[in-house]
Chains A and B, each alone.
Chain A
Amino acid sequence: MEDNLSFWVFSKSIVIPRLLEGMAITLKLTIISGCIGFILGMLIALFRISRSPVLRSLAAFYITLFRGTPLLLQILFIYFAVPTLINVTFDSFPAGILALSLNCAAYLAEIFRAGILSIAKGQTEAARALGLSHYQTMFKIIIPQTYRRIIPPVVNEFSALTKDTSLVSVISLGELLYVTQRIGAKYLRPWEVYVWAGLGYLIIVICLSTLASRLEKSLLAKGGV
Protein backbone atom coordinates (compact mmCIF):
# COMPACT_ATOMS: atom_id res chain seq x y z
CA MET A 1 0.00 0.00 0.00
CA GLU A 2 2.79 2.35 0.90
CA ASP A 3 4.43 1.38 -2.39
CA ASN A 4 1.97 3.54 -4.22
CA LEU A 5 2.63 6.73 -2.31
CA SER A 6 3.65 9.67 -4.48
CA PHE A 7 7.22 11.03 -4.21
CA TRP A 8 6.16 13.92 -2.01
CA VAL A 9 3.95 11.95 0.31
CA PHE A 10 6.57 9.20 0.65
CA SER A 11 9.25 11.78 1.32
CA LYS A 12 7.23 13.79 3.77
CA SER A 13 5.73 10.99 5.79
CA ILE A 14 8.47 8.39 5.73
CA VAL A 15 11.85 9.70 4.59
CA ILE A 16 12.17 13.16 6.07
CA PRO A 17 11.37 12.38 9.73
CA ARG A 18 14.01 9.65 9.83
CA LEU A 19 16.34 11.67 7.65
CA LEU A 20 16.26 14.43 10.25
CA GLU A 21 17.12 11.95 12.99
CA GLY A 22 20.01 10.66 10.90
CA MET A 23 21.14 14.18 10.09
CA ALA A 24 21.18 15.04 13.80
CA ILE A 25 23.52 12.13 14.43
CA THR A 26 25.67 13.04 11.44
CA LEU A 27 25.91 16.60 12.75
CA LYS A 28 26.78 15.40 16.23
CA LEU A 29 29.46 13.11 14.84
CA THR A 30 30.88 15.92 12.72
CA ILE A 31 30.88 18.58 15.42
CA ILE A 32 32.20 16.42 18.25
CA SER A 33 34.86 14.71 16.13
CA GLY A 34 35.75 18.04 14.53
CA CYS A 35 36.29 19.68 17.92
CA ILE A 36 38.29 16.80 19.38
CA GLY A 37 40.24 16.50 16.13
CA PHE A 38 40.94 20.25 16.17
CA ILE A 39 42.45 20.23 19.65
CA LEU A 40 44.30 16.97 19.13
CA GLY A 41 45.50 18.16 15.72
CA MET A 42 46.88 21.37 17.23
CA LEU A 43 48.72 19.35 19.87
CA ILE A 44 50.19 17.02 17.25
CA ALA A 45 51.22 19.99 15.10
CA LEU A 46 53.05 21.50 18.09
CA PHE A 47 54.74 18.14 18.72
CA ARG A 48 55.66 17.96 15.05
CA ILE A 49 57.57 21.26 15.21
CA SER A 50 58.83 20.93 18.78
CA ARG A 51 62.51 20.93 19.60
CA SER A 52 62.31 17.44 21.09
CA PRO A 53 63.19 14.74 18.53
CA VAL A 54 61.08 12.22 20.48
CA LEU A 55 57.92 14.34 20.23
CA ARG A 56 58.66 15.09 16.59
CA SER A 57 58.97 11.41 15.66
CA LEU A 58 55.88 10.51 17.68
CA ALA A 59 53.84 13.08 15.79
CA ALA A 60 55.25 12.00 12.45
CA PHE A 61 54.43 8.38 13.23
CA TYR A 62 50.87 9.28 14.21
CA ILE A 63 50.28 11.27 11.05
CA THR A 64 51.75 8.55 8.82
CA LEU A 65 49.65 5.88 10.49
CA PHE A 66 46.30 7.68 10.29
CA ARG A 67 46.82 9.14 6.84
CA GLY A 68 48.25 5.93 5.47
CA THR A 69 45.42 3.58 6.35
CA PRO A 70 41.77 3.78 5.24
CA LEU A 71 39.33 5.43 7.62
CA LEU A 72 36.97 2.50 7.09
CA LEU A 73 39.65 0.16 8.40
CA GLN A 74 40.25 2.44 11.40
CA ILE A 75 36.54 2.42 12.25
CA LEU A 76 36.33 -1.37 11.98
CA PHE A 77 39.55 -1.79 13.96
CA ILE A 78 38.36 0.38 16.83
CA TYR A 79 34.90 -1.18 16.96
CA PHE A 80 35.75 -4.85 16.37
CA ALA A 81 39.48 -5.38 16.98
CA VAL A 82 40.31 -3.13 19.93
CA PRO A 83 37.83 -4.88 22.27
CA THR A 84 39.56 -8.19 21.60
CA LEU A 85 42.97 -6.69 22.41
CA ILE A 86 42.12 -4.77 25.54
CA ASN A 87 39.13 -5.39 27.68
CA VAL A 88 37.05 -2.43 26.53
CA THR A 89 34.00 -2.47 24.33
CA PHE A 90 32.65 0.60 22.61
CA ASP A 91 29.13 1.46 21.60
CA SER A 92 29.00 2.40 17.98
CA PHE A 93 28.64 6.13 18.68
CA PRO A 94 31.78 6.57 20.83
CA ALA A 95 33.67 4.21 18.54
CA GLY A 96 32.66 6.36 15.58
CA ILE A 97 33.65 9.56 17.38
CA LEU A 98 37.01 8.08 18.35
CA ALA A 99 37.86 6.90 14.84
CA LEU A 100 36.76 10.13 13.16
CA SER A 101 38.56 12.35 15.71
CA LEU A 102 41.82 10.45 15.51
CA ASN A 103 41.69 10.44 11.73
CA CYS A 104 40.83 14.08 11.22
CA ALA A 105 43.44 15.13 13.82
CA ALA A 106 46.16 13.72 11.56
CA TYR A 107 45.03 15.82 8.60
CA LEU A 108 44.41 18.94 10.69
CA ALA A 109 47.86 18.62 12.29
CA GLU A 110 49.48 18.98 8.89
CA ILE A 111 47.28 21.97 8.05
CA PHE A 112 48.23 23.66 11.33
CA ARG A 113 51.90 22.89 10.87
CA ALA A 114 51.88 24.37 7.38
CA GLY A 115 50.09 27.45 8.75
CA ILE A 116 52.64 27.93 11.52
CA LEU A 117 55.59 27.48 9.16
CA SER A 118 54.09 30.03 6.75
CA ILE A 119 54.46 32.89 9.24
CA ALA A 120 57.60 34.95 8.60
CA LYS A 121 60.57 34.19 10.84
CA GLY A 122 60.82 37.88 11.75
CA GLN A 123 57.63 37.54 13.81
CA THR A 124 59.21 34.93 16.07
CA GLU A 125 62.41 36.97 16.29
CA ALA A 126 60.57 40.15 17.26
CA ALA A 127 58.60 38.30 19.93
CA ARG A 128 61.63 36.54 21.39
CA ALA A 129 63.63 39.78 21.34
CA LEU A 130 60.91 41.33 23.51
CA GLY A 131 61.46 38.53 26.02
CA LEU A 132 58.40 36.41 25.20
CA SER A 133 58.91 32.71 25.80
CA HIS A 134 58.67 30.06 23.12
CA TYR A 135 55.08 29.22 24.13
CA GLN A 136 53.95 32.82 24.50
CA THR A 137 55.35 33.47 21.03
CA MET A 138 53.48 30.48 19.64
CA PHE A 139 50.11 31.19 21.23
CA LYS A 140 50.02 34.98 21.19
CA ILE A 141 51.91 35.83 18.02
CA ILE A 142 52.25 32.96 15.57
CA ILE A 143 49.07 30.88 15.89
CA PRO A 144 46.64 33.86 15.80
CA GLN A 145 48.23 34.91 12.51
CA THR A 146 47.53 31.50 10.98
CA TYR A 147 43.76 31.60 11.55
CA ARG A 148 42.73 33.25 8.33
CA ARG A 149 45.21 31.29 6.22
CA ILE A 150 44.08 27.92 7.54
CA ILE A 151 40.33 28.52 7.22
CA PRO A 152 40.09 27.27 3.61
CA PRO A 153 42.00 24.00 4.18
CA VAL A 154 40.25 23.44 7.53
CA VAL A 155 36.84 23.88 5.86
CA ASN A 156 37.98 21.36 3.25
CA GLU A 157 38.86 18.95 6.00
CA PHE A 158 35.58 19.49 7.84
CA SER A 159 33.60 18.96 4.62
CA ALA A 160 35.47 15.72 4.12
CA LEU A 161 34.78 14.81 7.74
CA THR A 162 31.04 15.48 7.29
CA LYS A 163 30.94 13.02 4.43
CA ASP A 164 33.30 10.55 6.09
CA THR A 165 30.83 10.18 8.94
CA SER A 166 28.84 8.07 6.47
CA LEU A 167 31.49 5.34 6.83
CA VAL A 168 30.38 4.89 10.42
CA SER A 169 27.22 3.25 9.04
CA VAL A 170 29.28 0.04 8.80
CA ILE A 171 29.12 -0.27 12.57
CA SER A 172 25.34 0.19 12.50
CA LEU A 173 25.32 3.73 13.76
CA GLY A 174 22.07 5.37 12.71
CA GLU A 175 23.54 8.33 10.91
CA LEU A 176 22.20 9.92 7.75
CA LEU A 177 23.31 7.33 5.22
CA TYR A 178 22.47 4.37 7.45
CA VAL A 179 18.85 5.45 8.05
CA THR A 180 18.21 6.32 4.43
CA GLN A 181 19.67 3.00 3.28
CA ARG A 182 17.39 1.17 5.67
CA ILE A 183 14.30 2.99 4.39
CA GLY A 184 15.40 2.46 0.81
CA ALA A 185 15.78 -1.27 1.39
CA LYS A 186 12.52 -1.57 3.26
CA TYR A 187 10.35 0.26 0.75
CA LEU A 188 12.43 -0.62 -2.32
CA ARG A 189 12.55 3.00 -3.36
CA PRO A 190 16.29 3.68 -3.57
CA TRP A 191 16.43 6.74 -5.75
CA GLU A 192 14.26 8.93 -3.54
CA VAL A 193 16.11 8.08 -0.36
CA TYR A 194 19.55 8.57 -1.86
CA VAL A 195 18.57 11.93 -3.31
CA TRP A 196 17.41 12.97 0.14
CA ALA A 197 20.56 11.65 1.77
CA GLY A 198 22.66 13.58 -0.73
CA LEU A 199 20.71 16.75 0.00
CA GLY A 200 21.21 16.15 3.72
CA TYR A 201 25.00 16.12 3.38
CA LEU A 202 24.93 19.01 0.95
CA ILE A 203 22.97 21.18 3.39
CA ILE A 204 25.43 20.51 6.22
CA VAL A 205 28.47 21.25 4.05
CA ILE A 206 26.92 24.42 2.59
CA CYS A 207 26.11 25.71 6.08
CA LEU A 208 29.67 24.99 7.13
CA SER A 209 31.19 26.83 4.15
CA THR A 210 28.93 29.83 4.65
CA LEU A 211 29.91 30.06 8.28
CA ALA A 212 33.58 29.80 7.36
CA SER A 213 33.49 32.51 4.71
CA ARG A 214 31.81 34.85 7.23
CA LEU A 215 34.53 34.10 9.75
CA GLU A 216 37.16 34.71 7.11
CA LYS A 217 35.68 38.11 6.25
CA SER A 218 35.49 39.20 9.86
CA LEU A 219 39.13 38.22 10.39
CA LEU A 220 40.09 40.10 7.26
CA ALA A 221 38.51 43.24 8.69
CA LYS A 222 40.67 42.82 11.78
CA GLY A 223 44.27 43.51 10.86
CA GLY A 224 44.07 41.66 7.56
CA VAL A 225 46.09 38.65 8.60
Chain B
Amino acid sequence: MNTSDANEIIIKIVNLKKTFGSLEVLKGISTEIKKGEVVVIIGPSGSGKSTLLRCLNYLEAPSSGEIHFQNQLMGQGKSEKELDLQRSKMGMVFQNFNLFPHLTVLENLILAPINVSNVSHHDALALARSFLQKVGLSEKEHSYPRELSGGQQQRVAIARALCMKPDVMLFDEATSALDPELVNEVLRVMKSLAHSGLTLIVVTHEMGFAKEVADRVVFMDGGLIIEEGNPADIFESPKEKRTIEFLGKL
Protein backbone atom coordinates (compact mmCIF):
# COMPACT_ATOMS: atom_id res chain seq x y z
CA MET B 1 0.00 0.00 0.00
CA ASN B 2 1.29 3.38 -1.00
CA THR B 3 1.74 5.38 2.20
CA SER B 4 0.80 8.77 0.73
CA ASP B 5 -2.75 7.68 0.05
CA ALA B 6 -2.95 5.01 2.71
CA ASN B 7 -6.10 6.50 4.13
CA GLU B 8 -7.70 7.73 0.96
CA ILE B 9 -11.16 6.21 0.65
CA ILE B 10 -11.82 5.03 -2.90
CA ILE B 11 -15.22 3.41 -2.37
CA LYS B 12 -17.73 4.21 0.32
CA ILE B 13 -20.86 2.08 0.58
CA VAL B 14 -23.74 3.46 2.63
CA ASN B 15 -26.65 1.27 3.73
CA LEU B 16 -26.85 -0.54 0.41
CA LYS B 17 -29.96 -2.63 -0.15
CA LYS B 18 -31.02 -4.78 -3.07
CA THR B 19 -34.23 -6.70 -3.50
CA PHE B 20 -35.22 -8.99 -6.34
CA GLY B 21 -39.00 -9.16 -6.27
CA SER B 22 -39.83 -10.07 -2.69
CA LEU B 23 -36.35 -11.44 -1.98
CA GLU B 24 -34.08 -9.07 -0.08
CA VAL B 25 -30.56 -10.06 -1.10
CA LEU B 26 -28.68 -7.15 0.46
CA LYS B 27 -30.12 -5.87 3.72
CA GLY B 28 -28.04 -2.80 4.39
CA ILE B 29 -24.32 -2.96 3.63
CA SER B 30 -22.02 -0.17 4.79
CA THR B 31 -18.27 -0.19 4.51
CA GLU B 32 -15.34 1.78 3.15
CA ILE B 33 -12.56 0.62 0.92
CA LYS B 34 -9.22 2.36 0.92
CA LYS B 35 -7.10 2.98 -2.09
CA GLY B 36 -4.72 0.08 -2.67
CA GLU B 37 -6.56 -2.14 -0.25
CA VAL B 38 -7.17 -5.81 -1.07
CA VAL B 39 -10.57 -6.77 0.30
CA VAL B 40 -11.68 -10.38 0.13
CA ILE B 41 -15.36 -11.12 0.61
CA ILE B 42 -16.23 -14.61 1.81
CA GLY B 43 -19.45 -16.27 2.86
CA PRO B 44 -21.88 -19.06 1.99
CA SER B 45 -23.69 -19.18 -1.35
CA GLY B 46 -26.66 -16.90 -1.43
CA SER B 47 -25.14 -14.55 1.13
CA GLY B 48 -25.19 -11.65 -1.34
CA LYS B 49 -21.45 -11.42 -2.08
CA SER B 50 -21.80 -11.42 -5.85
CA THR B 51 -24.80 -9.12 -5.76
CA LEU B 52 -22.81 -6.65 -3.69
CA LEU B 53 -20.01 -6.71 -6.25
CA ARG B 54 -22.46 -6.31 -9.13
CA CYS B 55 -24.13 -3.38 -7.39
CA LEU B 56 -20.78 -1.63 -7.01
CA ASN B 57 -20.48 -1.02 -10.76
CA TYR B 58 -24.23 -0.81 -11.24
CA LEU B 59 -24.58 -3.96 -13.29
CA GLU B 60 -27.42 -4.29 -10.83
CA ALA B 61 -28.97 -1.02 -9.75
CA PRO B 62 -29.25 -1.01 -5.93
CA SER B 63 -32.76 -0.72 -4.49
CA SER B 64 -31.58 1.87 -2.00
CA GLY B 65 -28.43 3.20 -0.40
CA GLU B 66 -25.40 4.95 -1.85
CA ILE B 67 -22.11 4.06 -3.44
CA HIS B 68 -19.44 6.73 -3.56
CA PHE B 69 -16.61 6.02 -5.96
CA GLN B 70 -13.69 8.43 -5.85
CA ASN B 71 -15.86 10.90 -3.94
CA GLN B 72 -18.59 10.77 -6.57
CA LEU B 73 -21.97 9.25 -6.11
CA MET B 74 -22.39 6.28 -8.46
CA GLY B 75 -25.38 6.08 -10.71
CA GLN B 76 -28.04 8.20 -9.06
CA GLY B 77 -28.82 11.37 -10.96
CA LYS B 78 -26.11 10.59 -13.47
CA SER B 79 -26.58 10.36 -17.18
CA GLU B 80 -26.09 6.99 -18.82
CA LYS B 81 -22.86 8.30 -20.29
CA GLU B 82 -21.41 9.39 -16.95
CA LEU B 83 -22.31 6.01 -15.49
CA ASP B 84 -20.55 4.25 -18.40
CA LEU B 85 -17.46 6.30 -17.62
CA GLN B 86 -17.59 5.43 -13.92
CA ARG B 87 -18.02 1.77 -14.79
CA SER B 88 -15.04 1.83 -17.08
CA LYS B 89 -12.87 2.74 -14.09
CA MET B 90 -13.93 -0.42 -12.25
CA GLY B 91 -12.56 -3.49 -13.94
CA MET B 92 -14.63 -6.60 -13.49
CA VAL B 93 -13.66 -10.24 -13.87
CA PHE B 94 -16.48 -12.78 -14.07
CA GLN B 95 -16.80 -16.40 -13.03
CA ASN B 96 -17.51 -17.41 -16.64
CA PHE B 97 -14.80 -15.19 -18.19
CA ASN B 98 -17.28 -13.65 -20.67
CA LEU B 99 -14.67 -13.05 -23.35
CA PHE B 100 -16.18 -11.94 -26.65
CA PRO B 101 -16.05 -15.17 -28.70
CA HIS B 102 -16.23 -13.49 -32.12
CA LEU B 103 -13.09 -11.46 -31.46
CA THR B 104 -9.48 -12.55 -31.14
CA VAL B 105 -7.64 -12.11 -27.85
CA LEU B 106 -6.08 -8.87 -29.08
CA GLU B 107 -9.42 -7.56 -30.38
CA ASN B 108 -11.00 -8.37 -27.02
CA LEU B 109 -8.35 -6.25 -25.33
CA ILE B 110 -8.37 -3.17 -27.57
CA LEU B 111 -12.14 -2.86 -28.01
CA ALA B 112 -12.93 -0.87 -24.89
CA PRO B 113 -9.81 1.38 -24.89
CA ILE B 114 -10.60 2.42 -28.47
CA ASN B 115 -14.36 2.78 -28.11
CA VAL B 116 -14.66 4.02 -24.56
CA SER B 117 -11.41 5.84 -23.74
CA ASN B 118 -10.70 7.03 -27.29
CA VAL B 119 -7.19 5.60 -27.24
CA SER B 120 -5.67 5.38 -30.74
CA HIS B 121 -5.53 1.97 -32.37
CA HIS B 122 -1.76 2.04 -32.20
CA ASP B 123 -1.60 2.90 -28.50
CA ALA B 124 -4.34 0.40 -27.68
CA LEU B 125 -2.34 -2.37 -29.34
CA ALA B 126 0.77 -1.46 -27.35
CA LEU B 127 -1.25 -1.37 -24.15
CA ALA B 128 -2.92 -4.70 -24.92
CA ARG B 129 0.39 -6.40 -25.70
CA SER B 130 1.97 -5.14 -22.50
CA PHE B 131 -0.87 -6.58 -20.40
CA LEU B 132 -0.90 -9.83 -22.35
CA GLN B 133 2.74 -10.18 -21.49
CA LYS B 134 1.96 -9.47 -17.86
CA VAL B 135 -0.50 -12.36 -17.76
CA GLY B 136 1.91 -14.55 -19.73
CA LEU B 137 -0.12 -14.97 -22.92
CA SER B 138 1.78 -12.96 -25.50
CA GLU B 139 1.83 -15.87 -27.92
CA LYS B 140 -1.97 -16.13 -27.90
CA GLU B 141 -2.82 -12.69 -29.22
CA HIS B 142 -4.34 -13.96 -32.47
CA SER B 143 -6.20 -16.89 -30.92
CA TYR B 144 -9.94 -16.93 -30.47
CA PRO B 145 -11.28 -17.50 -26.95
CA ARG B 146 -12.60 -21.01 -27.71
CA GLU B 147 -9.02 -22.06 -28.54
CA LEU B 148 -7.85 -21.28 -24.99
CA SER B 149 -8.13 -23.20 -21.74
CA GLY B 150 -10.30 -21.82 -18.96
CA GLY B 151 -7.30 -20.52 -17.07
CA GLN B 152 -5.96 -18.80 -20.16
CA GLN B 153 -9.36 -17.27 -20.89
CA GLN B 154 -9.59 -15.91 -17.39
CA ARG B 155 -6.11 -14.40 -17.65
CA VAL B 156 -7.15 -12.73 -20.92
CA ALA B 157 -10.28 -11.44 -19.16
CA ILE B 158 -8.06 -9.93 -16.45
CA ALA B 159 -5.83 -8.32 -19.08
CA ARG B 160 -8.91 -6.98 -20.86
CA ALA B 161 -10.09 -5.29 -17.68
CA LEU B 162 -6.61 -3.90 -17.00
CA CYS B 163 -6.47 -2.29 -20.44
CA MET B 164 -9.03 0.24 -19.21
CA LYS B 165 -6.54 1.26 -16.49
CA PRO B 166 -9.15 0.78 -13.78
CA ASP B 167 -8.79 2.24 -10.30
CA VAL B 168 -10.49 -0.78 -8.76
CA MET B 169 -10.74 -4.38 -9.88
CA LEU B 170 -13.72 -6.51 -8.93
CA PHE B 171 -13.32 -10.29 -9.04
CA ASP B 172 -16.54 -12.26 -8.97
CA GLU B 173 -15.55 -15.85 -8.12
CA ALA B 174 -12.93 -15.66 -10.82
CA THR B 175 -11.61 -19.17 -10.19
CA SER B 176 -14.85 -21.03 -9.42
CA ALA B 177 -15.45 -22.25 -12.98
CA LEU B 178 -11.90 -23.52 -13.47
CA ASP B 179 -10.55 -27.04 -13.29
CA PRO B 180 -8.51 -27.37 -10.08
CA GLU B 181 -5.18 -27.56 -11.93
CA LEU B 182 -5.92 -24.21 -13.64
CA VAL B 183 -6.81 -22.26 -10.52
CA ASN B 184 -3.25 -21.41 -9.57
CA GLU B 185 -2.27 -19.68 -12.80
CA VAL B 186 -5.16 -17.26 -12.28
CA LEU B 187 -4.48 -16.78 -8.57
CA ARG B 188 -0.86 -16.01 -9.40
CA VAL B 189 -1.95 -13.14 -11.66
CA MET B 190 -4.36 -11.89 -8.99
CA LYS B 191 -1.60 -11.95 -6.38
CA SER B 192 0.73 -9.95 -8.57
CA LEU B 193 -2.02 -7.36 -9.01
CA ALA B 194 -2.53 -7.24 -5.26
CA HIS B 195 1.17 -6.56 -4.79
CA SER B 196 1.15 -3.89 -7.49
CA GLY B 197 -0.95 -1.59 -5.30
CA LEU B 198 -4.17 -1.80 -7.28
CA THR B 199 -7.35 -1.79 -5.20
CA LEU B 200 -8.96 -5.22 -5.39
CA ILE B 201 -12.34 -6.43 -4.20
CA VAL B 202 -12.42 -10.18 -4.47
CA VAL B 203 -15.34 -12.53 -3.95
CA THR B 204 -13.86 -15.99 -3.64
CA HIS B 205 -13.98 -19.41 -2.06
CA GLU B 206 -10.18 -19.63 -2.13
CA MET B 207 -9.39 -19.20 1.56
CA GLY B 208 -5.68 -19.63 0.89
CA PHE B 209 -5.75 -16.55 -1.30
CA ALA B 210 -7.67 -14.62 1.35
CA LYS B 211 -5.17 -15.55 4.08
CA GLU B 212 -2.17 -14.77 1.95
CA VAL B 213 -3.00 -11.50 0.20
CA ALA B 214 -6.05 -9.88 1.80
CA ASP B 215 -5.60 -6.69 3.78
CA ARG B 216 -9.12 -7.22 5.05
CA VAL B 217 -11.52 -10.12 5.00
CA VAL B 218 -15.25 -9.45 5.00
CA PHE B 219 -17.57 -12.26 6.01
CA MET B 220 -21.10 -11.94 4.65
CA ASP B 221 -24.18 -13.99 5.42
CA GLY B 222 -27.87 -13.40 4.77
CA GLY B 223 -27.29 -10.11 2.98
CA LEU B 224 -25.32 -8.52 5.80
CA ILE B 225 -21.69 -8.06 6.73
CA ILE B 226 -21.36 -10.25 9.80
CA GLU B 227 -17.72 -9.65 10.60
CA GLU B 228 -14.70 -8.01 9.01
CA GLY B 229 -11.08 -7.64 9.94
CA ASN B 230 -7.59 -8.67 8.99
CA PRO B 231 -7.22 -12.24 7.77
CA ALA B 232 -5.42 -13.46 10.88
CA ASP B 233 -8.26 -12.29 13.12
CA ILE B 234 -11.04 -13.62 10.92
CA PHE B 235 -9.48 -17.00 10.25
CA GLU B 236 -7.86 -17.69 13.60
CA SER B 237 -10.12 -15.98 16.10
CA PRO B 238 -13.51 -15.20 14.56
CA LYS B 239 -15.89 -13.66 17.05
CA GLU B 240 -19.29 -14.17 15.48
CA LYS B 241 -21.07 -17.51 15.77
CA ARG B 242 -21.95 -17.60 12.07
CA THR B 243 -18.37 -16.92 11.01
CA ILE B 244 -17.14 -19.74 13.23
CA GLU B 245 -19.75 -22.08 11.77
CA PHE B 246 -18.89 -21.14 8.19
CA LEU B 247 -15.14 -21.49 8.65
CA GLY B 248 -15.65 -24.70 10.58
CA LYS B 249 -17.34 -26.29 7.57
CA LEU B 250 -14.41 -25.64 5.25
> Interface of A with B (CB < 8 Å)?
120, 122-123, 125-134, 136, 140-141, 144-145, 222-225
Contact = CB atoms under 8 A, between A and B. Distances in A.
B84 interface: yes
A29 B101 CA distance: 36
B84 A123 contact: no
B87 A144 contact: no
Contacts, number: 75
Contacts of B146: 223-224
A146 B120 CA distance: 28
Contacts of B117: 131
A223 B80 contact: no
B23 interface: no
Contacts of B104: 223
B244 interface: no
A131 B116 contact: yes
B183 to A, nearest CB: 20
B59 A129 contact: yes
A125 B96 CA distance: 11
Interface string B145-184: 1100000000001001100100000000000000000000
A128 B85 CA distance: 10
Interface in B70-94: 80-81, 84-85, 87-92, 94
A133 B161 contact: no
B103 interface: yes
Given A128-B87, A144-B102, A133 B92 contact: no
Q: Is the interface of A mostly helix, strand, loop or mixed?
A: helix
A126 B100 contact: yes
B226 interface: no
B98 A131 contact: no
B140 to A, nearest CB: 14
A48 B98 CA distance: 25
Contact of A225 (B84, B96, B102): B102
B144 interface: yes
B22 interface: no
A146 to B, nearest CB: 10
Nearest to B88: A131
A129 B84 contact: no
25 contacts: A122-B96, A125-B98, A126-B92, A126-B157, A128-B87, A129-B57, A129-B90, A130-B112, A130-B164, A131-B85, A131-B112, A131-B117, A132-B84, A132-B116, A133-B84, A134-B80, A136-B116, A140-B111, A141-B100, A145-B100, A223-B103, A223-B104, A223-B145, A224-B146, A225-B102
A122 B59 CA distance: 11
B115 interface: yes
A224 B99 CA distance: 13
Given A145-B101, A222-B102, 19 more contacts: A125-B94, A128-B84, A129-B57, A129-B161, A130-B116, A130-B160, A130-B161, A131-B85, A131-B164, A132-B112, A133-B84, A141-B100, A145-B102, A222-B144, A223-B101, A223-B103, A223-B144, A224-B144, A225-B102
